[in-house]
Amino acid sequence: MADAIRIESLRKSFRLGFIPKTTEILKGITFSVSEGEVFGYLGPNGAGKTTTIKCLLGLVFPDAGSIEIFGHPHLSARARQSLGFLPENPYFYDYLTASEFLAFTADLFGLGRREKDGRIDRLLKLVGLERAAGLPLRKFSRGMLQRAGLAQALINDPKLVVLDEPLGGMDPLGRKEIRDIIVRFKQEGKTVLFTSHILQDIEMICDHVAIIVGGRVVKQGALQDLVSEKVLFTEMTVAGVPPDAFRGLGESLSVQGDRVLLKIVEERRVDAVLSLVREKNGRVVSLSPRTETLEDIFVETVTGR
Amino acid sequence: MKIWAIAGITFKEAKRDRILYLLFFFAAVSISATRILAILTVGDRVKIIKDVGLASISIFGVLMAVLIGTSLVYKEIDKKTILTLLSKPLRRAEFILGKFLGLVLTLFVMTVGMGLIFLAVVYLHTSRIEWPLLVAIAYVFLELVLITAVAILFSSFSTPILSSIFSLAFYLIGHISWGLNLLIKKMHAGAGKAAARFLYVFLPDLENFNFRTEAVHGLPIPSSIFLYSILYGVCYTAFILALAILVFRRRDFI
């Protein structure tokens, strides 16, 4: 599959402060995103995620390295025409209504009146803002602003959608809706690059991820390759057996009434615990093996533990 | 098309600015108060009305251009709306030109408003419309266009307060630099004269747009001076806008 984004050896420093001091933010970032995939770009605060995205969008000029979008230089008109962007904490002209704002962004792509009207109606429906179309943006909640931002990012029907923290500050329902929209992008063949701190969401929808720490990509690859299916430990809730009975078999994490939550590290000990429960006429309330998650990988990569 | 989209949004934003209406209100009060001033004056009352009225249009117009112009680009950067705009296929030059045109359109509407009040006050005294006054107002507007470009240049890299100070300094220098021209004429040829001439070329001479004395006193103005002033205004504005674009094109939006 062709590359939607190819970033090679990207470097960027800023001179910040009253007495300017050079700080190197990106120290040779290299990664690529294939067409049609959902790519998660992860990293702790200050790792350089937003700076990478700003370089990609031409908002910040890199000191060195190259960026291509669908094989074109990232600043070319063709590259720009093919992408949509939702910034982190979007703020738009709050005196405009959602429809007026979308009409304005459509004008920046030179869309004709009929095409523009059709797209605005469709997008407002897609992001669930059709009822708020005539409201000024200053009356929008944070979640509604995020949706309006998503709609403006899609006004040109882009092949590549770049989302900077699209799930930040949203309630669980809103997060699910945005996730569903991203999944729909994938079904439509769009490429999505997004950053997020909410790793469960990334795990649910991403094909590939890259983890950036201190301005360097320290880990990248297909999600299924990074996250092994090896069982790390098993969590078991048992009722009717005193916690002391499990000494040597598992770690008692909590006790509530006659229920004990156990963490069992070795698989063979799970069978031993089950036998013990049967023997003591107890009851297994729940049993869940915990496989490695993206969060484990992230914590391990970032902290080195 | 894209420039007009930016100009349209700038016009919408500028016309929501309360400072604009506050300045327009004071301009209207100042122009209307020329009648009272005329009553207290010994001599040609109509000339006082015309003189103070035209000066009010110029001063309040400049304040509008500076106070609104210096915050327009800065606000986009500060509130980060610029991130959304520049990620679209919009060149940075188009953004600056759109901002400029939007503010010029706002100032045009304001100048027309102030001009109409002024002409109405004059009409109450003379019962006729004096065309030279319209010409003087048109040149005040041309001066405002240049000041707008300067305000946008400064706001592309500085804060509104500093930009306002720089722009007002430009305006003041522009109205006293003609003295340098007089000095050049009286200087002997040499390095000093060459340096003064070089300085005069770069410093603005806003007296090129000042036809108020001629309009008030009904003095003739040669058409070559009219044309020279237009050409001067267009070239200087284009130069300042080119500088603004140059500065803006190299900026990182962190």
Q: pLDDT digits over B13-32, tens only?
A: 888 888 889 999 999 999 98
DSSP H or E stretch at residue B47 = helix B45-78
Q: Domain range spanning residue B228?
A: 2-249
Measured in angstroms, the CA of A243 and the nearest CA of chain B are apart by 56
Spatial distance between the Cα atoms of B109 and B176, rounded to a whole number of angstroms:
28
Measured in angstroms, the CA of B59 and the nearest CA of chain A are apart by 29
Chain A CB contacts of B4 under 8 Å are: 107
Q: Which fold has domain A3-224?
A: Rossmann fold (3.40.50)
Which of A161-165, A241-245, B108-112, B119-123 shows the lowest per-residue confidence on average (mean pLDDT)?
A: A241-245
Q: Quote the radius of gyration of chain A (alpha carbons, Å).
A: 24
Interfacial A residues in 128-187 facing B (CB < 8 Å): 149, 152, 156, 162
Q: Do B13 and A149 touch (CB under 8 A)?
A: no
Kindly identify which residue of chain B lies nearest to residue A48, measuring between CA atoms: B254
pLDDT confidence of A152, banded at 50, 70, 90? Answer: very high
Q: Do B87 and A110 touch (CB under 8 A)?
A: no
Q: pLDDT digits over A113-147, tens only?
A: 888 999 999 999 988 888 988 888 889 888 888 88
Percent of chain B with pLDDT over 90: 49
Measured in angstroms, the CA of A226 and the nearest CA of chain B are apart by 32
Domain with CATH 3.30.70 in chain A: 231-303
Q: Do B254 and A60 touch (CB under 8 A)?
A: yes
Q: How large is the average pLDDT for residues A202-221?
A: 88
Kindly identify which residue of chain A lies nearest to residue B250, measuring between CA atoms: A61
Q: pLDDT digits over A44-94, tens only?
A: 888 889 999 999 999 999 999 999 999 999 989 889 999 999 988 777 888
Q: Do A108 and B88 touch (CB under 8 A)?
A: yes
Query: Residue A248 phi/psi, 5° resolution?
Result: 90, -15
* Partner residue opposite B80 with nearest CB, options A83, A91, A107: A91
Question: Tell me, what amino acid is at A57?
Answer: L
Strand partners, A264: A234
Is residue B254 in some structural domain? no
Q: Do A93 and B9 touch (CB under 8 A)?
A: yes
Which of A234-238, B5-9, B36-40 shows the lowest per-residue confidence on average (mean pLDDT)?
A: B36-40
Give DSSP secondary structure letters for chain A: --EEEEEEEEEEEEEETTTTEEEEEEEEEEEEEETT-EEEEE--TTSSHHHHHHHHHTSS--SEEEEEETTEETTSHHHHHTEEEE-SS----TTSBHHHHHHHHHHHTT--HHHHHHHHHHHHHHTT-GGGTTSBGGG--HHHHHHHHHHHHTTT--SEEEEESTTTT--HHHHHHHHHHHHHHHHTT-EEEEE-S-HHHHHHH-SEEEEEETTEEEEEEEHHHHS---EEEEEEEEESS-GGGGTTT-EEEEEETTEEEEEE-SHHHHHHHHHHHHHTT-EEEEEEEEE--HHHHHHHHHH--
Chain B CB contacts of A25 under 8 Å are: none
Give DSSP secondary structure letters for B62-129: HHHHHHHHHHHHHHHHHTTHHHHHHTSS--HHHHHHHHHHHHHHHHHHHHHHHHHHHHHHHHHHHSS-
Q: Compute the mean pLDDT over every residue in chain B, rounded to the nearest whole number.
A: 89
Write the ipTM. Answer: 0.80
pLDDT confidence of A229, banded at 50, 70, 90? Answer: low
Please give the pLDDT value at position B124.
86
pTM value?
Answer: 0.84
Measured in angstroms, the CA of A22 and the nearest CA of chain B are apart by 14
Q: Do B253 and A85 touch (CB under 8 A)?
A: no
pLDDT confidence of A296, banded at 50, 70, 90? Answer: confident
Which of the pair, B235 or B72, is modelled with greater confidence? B235
Please give the pLDDT value at position B4.
93
The reply to whether A87 touches chain B by the CB within 8 Å rule is: yes
* Partner residue opposite A95 with nearest CB, options B16, B82, B254: B16
Q: Do B83 and A54 touch (CB under 8 A)?
A: yes
Kindly identify which residue of chain A lies nearest to residue B7, measuring between CA atoms: A104
Q: Do B2 and A107 touch (CB under 8 A)?
A: yes
Q: pLDDT digits over B132-152, tens only?
A: 889 899 999 999 999 999 999
Spatial distance between the Cα atoms of A155 and A127, rounded to a whole number of angstroms:
12
Kindly identify which residue of chain B lies nearest to residue A25, measuring between CA atoms: B254
With a cut of 70, say whether residue A1 has pLDDT above it. Answer: no
Please give the pLDDT value at position A234.
87
Q: Do A96 and B12 touch (CB under 8 A)?
A: yes
pLDDT confidence of B154, banded at 50, 70, 90? Answer: very high
Is residue B47 in some structural domain? yes
* Partner residue opposite A85 with nearest CB, options B4, B13, B87: B87
Chain A CB contacts of B9 under 8 Å are: 93, 96, 104
Determine which of A67, A100, A108, A160 to mutate to test the interface with B (most B C-beta atoms within 10 Å): A108
Architecture per CATH, A231-303:
2-Layer Sandwich (3.30)
With a cut of 80, say whether residue A230 has pLDDT above it. Answer: no
Determine which of B84, B86, B251, B254 to mutate to test the interface with A (most A C-beta atoms within 10 Å): B84
Please give the pLDDT value at position B206.
87
How many domains does one find in chain B?
A: 1
Spatial distance between the Cα atoms of A191 and A175, rounded to a whole number of angstroms:
19
Q: Do B89 and A81 touch (CB under 8 A)?
A: yes
Give first-to-last CA distance, chain B, whole Å: 28
Which of A49-58, A287-296, B104-113 shows the lowest per-residue confidence on average (mean pLDDT)?
A: A287-296
Spatial distance between the Cα atoms of B148 and A273, rounded to a whole number of angstroms:
80
Question: Tell me, what amino acid is at A129?
Answer: L
Measured in angstroms, the CA of B81 and the nearest CA of chain A are apart by 6
Q: Compute the mean pLDDT over every residue in chain A, rounded to the nearest whole number.
A: 87
Domain with CATH 3.40.50.300 in chain A: 3-224
The per-residue b/e assignment along A34-55, b for 16 or more CB within 10 angstroms, e otherwise, is eebbbbbbbbeeebbbbbbbbb
Q: pLDDT digits over B208-238, tens only?
A: 888 888 888 878 777 888 889 999 999 999 9
Measured in angstroms, the CA of A271 and the nearest CA of chain B are apart by 57
Count of A–B CB contacts within 8 Å? 75
Chain B CB contacts of A89 under 8 Å are: 80
Q: How large is the average pLDDT for residues A148-162?
A: 92
Percent of chain A with pLDDT over 90: 31
Please give the pLDDT value at position A146.
87
